[in-house]
Structure 1
């Protein structure tokens, strides 16, 4: 029986080729006709970048696109999963990169699967480590970013900053208690001492009698009552983070990275000081909205708040450190006004769901009198500025004031420290140097400590 399979396949391929040529020609003719009529051709959106920001507070996944797209989400349980369909999107290499960007230490995402569910509908399936409260929202182009689709995976029960702070303190106490005590001195060997004496060595030390105990009932014999612990909490707020890099120097140094390292160094110094403890508003590379920064500081009942930044200006020769406090009557200079406007735009770049932002602002930034806060903040700011002057050049010899949103806690003296101008090439190099970062952290610490010593009534007395 003759084998017609090969011929059939050849005829099928030829027929398919002829059909494909006719189809291509038809599409080309249709495209030409639509172009002549100025009718835009529908095309799939393109992924420009994918970014993942895992953190204990929440994990953020960002898709940056050249065009806005529609999306839908669906939660599944047993095991917990989140399904997101992206309409008008074809899977490409950029989207597949999302799979490799999920880190093993991510607290919420186990893995992500990417597939083409339907033509021009891509599907993302997030296998989760725990139940989450997802937020999916779109952001319009701003700054260097194009259209963004943002997925925030929050824990079902939001972490309590105060509980986190206490757990960290208890962990440090347990670690300190676990350090073994130094070994006792070996017992005195009289024979070895005698041999040393005969050899001309040093004479043995005289045995000293133990001090006599004071008589019972005397003032020295009575134990003093334990003093109430006065524990001062300092909220450290490294600016920007995550989607918001802050200012970027000519060498590519990012403000968010520099200020996080300075903040961590400052935390080490505060935690090593008796009677003081530090709380990090941002302890990793993720974004914290401005209102939440204030809320976190108030939740831990912070006594002082210091926000750390690295300045930038259109003029590359601008240099020096600055300290800012809140103003209710407008900025003290046009530069301060410009800087406050730039810092207050952080939510737009970092990415905030506007649906929840207004509620947070109403709940947190209450319309309370901040006159006393501004007065205390000004005193604190002047002391810190003087300490910074011992490290490097000051931009201005006095503190400045403007309407910084992050300084609006009505009950916490708050300052914003611009450590240097990252837009200045020379200062950018210094800011990237860990030794200079340590000097900045030490200067801020000295200023905080000096303020607390001069104003002992300012801190709140606590035993927790």
Structure 2
């Protein structure tokens, strides 16, 4: 009996030693950071430390083992030279070493199972030096760009697949394709330029997405997504803007963060941020900035919806309001476009289709262009090309005015909603662009 008890205890201990299994290692390279994901059979019990000369991150997974071949895992990574197993500090511990090409600040955290993934240990390696230099190079460029800058945010990415369709389609892949197509259309438009928060399959922190837009001095942030529901019936596209409640919360946070005052208010912030008696002015200016941003967001969302309605079914015919983190900028108009329901089998097929992706990109582009053509930011090429005002003088007719500005009579009629060709002296006309 005693021997049997000892045998059971030894068996239990041996099971405990290898209770966790490292099943795979995945690496996602972003321009200024790298994410490493350890897929595990159960929740990780871990510790880690950093070594220098050469740079290494050492991770100890307690009561764990693996059969994964690590030799070629890091061959595509710019930051990670090699992933390898090293001698453990004690029996039952799996020691994994990341050999790095340059210093990086590690942030480790565990994630519970979420389809399609199980238990994970996530390692975020932040190349802070290069990131800081990149941010400073943008922030120090204070001159107004002659282009209207549109920041395009492809949702999810990397470890975060987003919603998953019935055929196993990942939202992150579809929205990146649509975003790239949209960026190409914007970059082909004189007076407009696109910047993307991500250009590949990697995750960008939600807070960092709006910061990237601000550092690029964007005039608009568009976040591209695909909707999903628990049943397959819902379908159609929709466009969302920030809710007023979330906007008020963000205003409060910005007001408390005095370092952001100058960033949001320009030189005015430098003058008033250190004056306690004038802090109410900061709050007023930030509040006005948010009100203006929300109003612009709503108008742009309406124009984009109008375009989308011509190429796909709409789930909502008017802009919706929500508390999405990516829309929280107090100073940048921001919209979130749900391009369709990936959970709907028919729309999943459409969203996978390149022609449909292009139609969606074209529709969003046309909506954005429509808004900025009518409301060009001061100092931009679009502002210089905007419609001219003309006051009718004695002896002028529609044909004379059209010939002068090199536009058609029909275009002047349409722009000014004229029901006849009769003009009166002093009448003000809007001359459309040639």
Deviation of 1:98 after TM superposition, in Å, equals 4.0
Task: Tell me which residue corresponds to 1:243.
Answer: 159
- Partner of residue 5 from structure 2, selected from 17, 29, 36: 29
Give the unaligned 5+ runs of structure 1. Answer: 1-24, 167-227, 332-357
Is 2:41 aligned against 1:66?
Answer: yes
Task: Tell me which residue corresponds to 2:321.
Answer: 401
Is 2:310 aligned against 1:310?
Answer: no
- Partner of residue 385 from structure 1, selected from 295, 300, 305: 305
Task: Tell me which residue corresponds to 2:175.
Answer: 259
Deviation of 1:99 after TM superposition, in Å, equals 3.5
Deviation of 1:158 after TM superposition, in Å, equals 4.1
- Alignment of structure 1 residues 148-227 onto 2, 5 Å: 148-159=120-131
**C-alpha contact (below 8 Å) 2:44/2:120 kept by paired residues:** no
> Structure 1 453/162 Cα, relative in aligned 2: closer, same or farther at 3 Å?
farther
Is 2:248 aligned against 1:273?
Answer: no
**C-alpha contact (below 8 Å) 2:191/2:381 kept by paired residues:** no
Q: Spell out, residue by residue over 1:331-377, the C-alpha distance to the aligned partner (whole angstroms, 9 max, x if none).
A: 9xxxxxxxxxxxxxxxxxxxxxxxxxx99x96879985322211110
Rg larger for: 1
- State the alpha-carbon separation in 1 of the partners of residues 44 and 14 from structure 2: 17
Task: Tell me which residue corresponds to 1:188.
Answer: none
Task: Tell me which residue corresponds to 2:52.
Answer: 77
**C-alpha contact (below 8 Å) 1:162/1:300 kept by paired residues:** no
- State the alpha-carbon separation in 2 of the partners of residues 122 and 330 from structure 1: 44
Task: Tell me which residue corresponds to 1:128.
Answer: 100
> Structure 1 131/34 Cα, relative in aligned 2: closer, same or farther at 3 Å?
closer
- Alignment of structure 1 residues 309-328 onto 2, 5 Å: 309-328=225-244
Deviation of 1:26 after TM superposition, in Å, equals 7.9
- Partner of residue 91 from structure 2, selected from 114, 119, 124: 119
Deviation of 1:244 after TM superposition, in Å, equals 0.9
**C-alpha contact (below 8 Å) 2:301/2:335 kept by paired residues:** yes
- Alignment of structure 1 residues 329-340 onto 2, 5 Å: 329=245
* Alignment coverage as a number of residue pairs: 344
Q: Spell out, residue by residue over 1:230-274, the C-alpha distance to the aligned partner (whole angstroms, 9 max, x if none).
A: 221110000011111111101111100000011111111112222
Secondary structure of 1:42's counterpart equals helix
Give the unaligned 5+ runs of structure 2. Answer: 248-252, 265-282, 383-434
Q: Mean Cα displacement is larger for which, 287-296 or 246-255?
A: 287-296
Is 2:199 aligned against 1:283?
Answer: yes
- State the alpha-carbon separation in 2 of the partners of residues 317 and 129 from structure 1: 49
Could you tell me the TM-score, scaled by structure 1's length? Answer: 0.67
